[in-house]
């Protein structure tokens, strides 16, 4: 497994990160035993980055990940979040953030996380996040309960504002670093890099748009983006490959991104993802030219999210 440096702490991160939302049942039921097996298989294959949140499965993801990592905590770079606790349950006040990390540490069975993120910050006011949430995160970092701090969310403008106005260590964005949207690579990452901040990537399939089955009904992407995403997935099938493998190699090929988070539902899934990375990305070169031409009319198309301007 290739590793890259997480500049704020100097840690070496696996380029493929384990997104633990599925451990909380985000994509179907999962047993405790299956969750442990998936985590252990990932560790054995060299995955060191694990990302969870109290939001995932109403704390179930954190609890299962903590159980699975018992005795192996020091092998991983552990990420959790605060501020979001349900579909419409947000609380970014300093008091709640301060209590949240202690609750998370208990479930994760550890005395610290490596990165603590304010989760989906666009769903509260920028003033509250800047004046309460981020200073609370800084105090948590000073206490040693988090080695680094940052923000996550969808609108890049919201993430950029927080990263520019507060000394954060990292930013996590989703649906902006994939075959349908390069703005994470071309816009946010260079700005963060100039400030010494790391950028992590998630949702390489655009939350299900880049699939032959299509996204879930609630997906907010414009219809034309959904149509192109399905066409790209079908093209990959016609060329004898998988959109998952192509999208994963494309994302991981971005050298400035230390780790790309991918949701994991089983030991078999993490094995397949690791195997996909063993293929030379150059093998996708001709296919990527075709994909870029298909995507060009909708490249970077976004949708509204949250309350930030």
Residue whose C-alpha is closest to residue 156's, from 117, 130, 191: 191
CA–CA–CA angle 57, 20, 177 (5° rounding): 115
DSSP string across the chain: --EEEETTTTEEEESEEEE-GGGGTBTB---HHHHHHHHHHHHHTT--EEE--TTTTTTHHHHHHHHHHTTTGGGSEEEEEESEEETTEE---HHHHHHHHHHHHHHHTSS-BSEEEE--GGGS-HHHIIIIIHHHHHHHHHHTSBS-EEEEES-HHHHHHHHHHS--SEEEEESSSBTTB-HIIIIIHHHHHHTT-EEEEE-TTTTTTSSSS---TT--S-HHHHHHHHHHHHHHHHTTS-HHHHHHHHHHT-TT-S-EEEE--SHHHHHHHHHHHTS-GGGGHHHHHHHHHHHGGGTT-----SS--
Residue whose C-alpha is closest to residue 56's, from 82, 75, 32: 82
Question: What span, in angstroms and rounded, lies between the C-alpha atoms of 49 and 67?
Answer: 16
Tell me if residue 27 is catalytic.
no
CB 78 within 8 A of CB 38: no
Say which of 27, 55, 56, 154 is annotated catalytic. 56
Active site residue ranges: 56
């Amino acid at each position: 497994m290739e590793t890259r440096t997480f500049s704020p702490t100097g840690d070496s991160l696996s380029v493929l990160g384990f997104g633990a939302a599925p451990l909380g049942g985000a994509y179907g039921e999962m047993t405790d035993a299956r969750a442990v097996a998936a985590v252990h298989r990932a560790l054995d294959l060299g995955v060191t980055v694990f990302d969870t949140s109290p939001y995932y499965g109403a704390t179930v993801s954190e609890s299962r990940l903590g159980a699975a990592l018992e005795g192996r905590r020091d092998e991983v770079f552990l990420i959790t979040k605060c501020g979001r606790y349900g579909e419409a349950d947000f609380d970014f006040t300093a008091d709640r953030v301060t209590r949240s990390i202690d609750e998370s540490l208990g479930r994760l069975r550890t005395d610290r996380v490596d990165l603590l993120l304010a989760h989906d910050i666009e769903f509260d006011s920028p003033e509250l996040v800047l004046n309460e949430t981020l200073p609370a995160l800084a105090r948590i970092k000073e206490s040693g309960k988090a080695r680094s701090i940052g923000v996550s969310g969808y609108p890049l403008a919201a993430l950029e504002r927080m990263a520019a106005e507060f000394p954060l260590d990292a930013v996590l964005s989703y649906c902006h670093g994939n075959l349908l949207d390069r703005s994470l690579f071309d816009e946010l990452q260079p700005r963060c890099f100039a400030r010494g901040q790391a950028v992590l990537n998630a949702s390489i399939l655009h939350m299900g748009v880049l699939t032959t089955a299509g996204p879930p009904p609630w997906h907010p992407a414009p219809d034309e983006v959904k149509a192109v995403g399905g066409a790209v997935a079908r093209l990959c099938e016609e060329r004898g490959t998988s959109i998952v493998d192509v999208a994963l190699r494309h994302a991981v090929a971005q050298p400035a991104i230390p780790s790309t988070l991918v949701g994991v539902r089983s030991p078999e899934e993490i094995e397949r993802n690791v195997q996909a990375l063993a293929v030379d990305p150059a093998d996708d070169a001709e296919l990527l030219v075709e994909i870029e031409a298909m995507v060009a009319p909708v490249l970077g198309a976004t949708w509204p999210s949250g309350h930030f301007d």
